[in-house]
Amino acid sequence: MHQFILFLEHASSEVQFFVITGMLLLCWNVEQFIGLSINPSKWKHAFVNAGFIFSNFPLQILVSISFAATMQWTAHHHFGLFYHFPFMKNDWVVFMVTFIFLDLGEYVYHVFMHRVKRLWMFHIVHHSDLQLDTSTSLREHPGENFIRNCFTLLWVFVSGTVFWALLLRQLIQIISNVFAHVNYRLPESVDRLVGLVFITPNLHHVHHHYVRPYTDCNYGDVLSVWDRMFGTFRTLSSSKTVFGVDTYMDEPKKHIYWYLLKLPFGKYRKSTLYKEEAVHEPEADSASAIEFSPLQVEPVQRV
């Protein structure tokens, strides 16, 4: 990694631009192919989700170019918060600060996608999948792909994130996203331990539950600490978890690719279901209960 960093620092601006663009494009598409290959027995279901690989690819080319140009500019002008932090001298420190900052940015983006009605209409394409598996990670509308990357580009610009740290963070994010969408759960004892810091399949399955307030919880991308800090952390047993979205459970066209592409531009459907009685509070002796207070149960209204 150190040699790669030195290569980028001493390469011409043209070489830097094409290396950054190509590596980001490759990185963002690795997850797509993993999502398909890991579930060959479920290709019929994955086929609909795989369509978004092709609709998102042209956009990802433009986004990769934008990221490359932005990071070149911030590096050349030493622009961004990180350039003003005196402790950002060691590569490990640079990576850890970058990772934490961008992961918080992903949490903020995810909350916005749930709280704003029109943004939720784009994000609902992902949530409408009734069979959660790794191919669900492919199920992202091109509009949301653009919005998500605009948020990330903003965080990169404001912070002055360097390319190698972003690339390494993206690789970790790929592994985390694929892992979070697998169609099985960790043993509860393991989940309680790992889930103290990281998003696990158990926690992300709750996020894909069809009814609020569970749909509006566990927003974390790689780290679960943000949900614990900001009061959006929830648990729910697998026996009570039902995948989908309440307003589209009976929609016969939700498995049709072209319908999903048009869905965000339709009329917003207000959620009428809210099941407070199914709330599963952590056990008194669990680590999460020791460190964090009980949650508020009132759902936040979308704007």
φ/ψ of residue 280, rounded to 5 = -110, 105
Maximum distance among all alpha carbons in the chain? 61
Residue 133 pLDDT class (50, 70, 90 cuts)? confident
* Mean pLDDT computed over 56-79: 90
Is pLDDT above 60 for 6? no
Asked whether the predicted pLDDT for residue 7 surpasses 70, the reply is: no
Q: What is the mean pLDDT of residues 223-243?
A: 95
pLDDT at 48: 77
pLDDT at 298 over 90: no
Q: What is the pLDDT of residue 293?
A: 33
Q: Decide if pLDDT at 186 tops 80.
A: yes
Is residue 97 pLDDT above 90, yes or no?
yes
Q: Where do the domains of the chain lie? A: 2-291
Selection from 65, 70, 140, 71 nearest residue 110 by Cα: 140
pLDDT higher than 50, residue 284:
no
Give CA–CA dist 247/232, Å, rounded. Answer: 22
| Closest of 164, 71, 125 to residue 263, by C-alpha | 125
**Does residue 41 have a pLDDT over 90?**
no
pLDDT of residue 64: 86
Least confident range from 99-113, 185-199, 241-255, 289-303: namely: 289-303
Structure-token pair, residue 98: 């970058």
pTM: 0.82
pLDDT for the residue numbered 288: 35
3-state secondary structure of 174: helix
Long-range contacts of 37-40 (CB under 8 A, 24+ apart): 38/134, 38/178, 38/182, 39/133, 39/134, 39/135
Angle between helix 43-77 and 163-180 (nearest 10): 160
Name the band, by pLDDT with cuts 50, 70 and 90, for residue 88. confident
Give yes or no for residue 183 having a pLDDT over 50. Answer: yes
Q: Give residue 80's Cα distance to chain centre.
A: 24
Mean pLDDT of the chain: 81
290: amino acid identity, one letter: I
Mind listing the pLDDT tens digit for each residue in 254-263?
A: 788 899 999 9
State mean pLDDT over 25-32.
54
Helix (H) or strand (E) holding 88: none
**Residue located via tokens 């990169």:** 156
Which of 166, 159, 161, 164 shows the shortest CA–CA distance to 5? 164
Q: Contacts by 145-151 with C-beta closer than 8 Å and gap 24+?
A: 145/56, 145/59, 145/60, 145/63, 146/59, 146/63, 147/109, 147/113, 147/119, 147/122, 148/109, 149/60, 149/63, 149/66, 149/67, 151/105, 151/106, 151/108, 151/109, 151/112
Selection from 191, 209, 189 nearest residue 200 by Cα = 191
pLDDT the model gives residue 265: 95
The percent of residues in the chain predicted with pLDDT above 90, rounded, is 50
| Mean pLDDT of all residues in 8-16 | 55
Orientation of helix 163-180 relative to helix 91-115, angle to 10°: 50
Interval 143-155: pLDDT, tens: 999 999 999 999 9
**pLDDT(34) > 90:** no
